[in-house]
Amino acid sequence: MKEWAVVQQRYQQDQPAIRLGGLASNLHRLAWCAQRANHEAAIALFRESKFFTEWAAPDCRFDQQVLLAELQLRLALWERGWGGRLTLAAIAEEAQHWATKLLKVAGLVTE
Residue 3, domain member (yes or no): no
Residue 61, domain member (yes or no): yes
Q: Are 5 and 13 a contacting pair, CB within 8 Å?
A: no
Residue 50, domain member (yes or no): yes
Tens digit of each residue's pLDDT (9 = 90 or more) over 72-88:
999 999 999 998 889 99
109 φ, ψ (degrees, to nearest 5): -140, 160
Tens digit of each residue's pLDDT (9 = 90 or more) over 19-72:
999 999 999 999 999 999 999 999 999 999 999 999 999 999 999 999 999 999
- Where do the H-state alpha helices sit in the chain? 4-11, 16-35, 39-56, 62-81, 88-105
Q: Domain count of the chain?
A: 1
pLDDT score at 2? 79
0.75 surpassed by pTM: yes
Residue 25, domain member (yes or no): no
pLDDT score at 111? 67
Mean pLDDT of all residues in 103-109: 93
pLDDT score at 108? 92
Which residues span the domain enclosing 64? 39-106
pLDDT at 14 over 70: yes
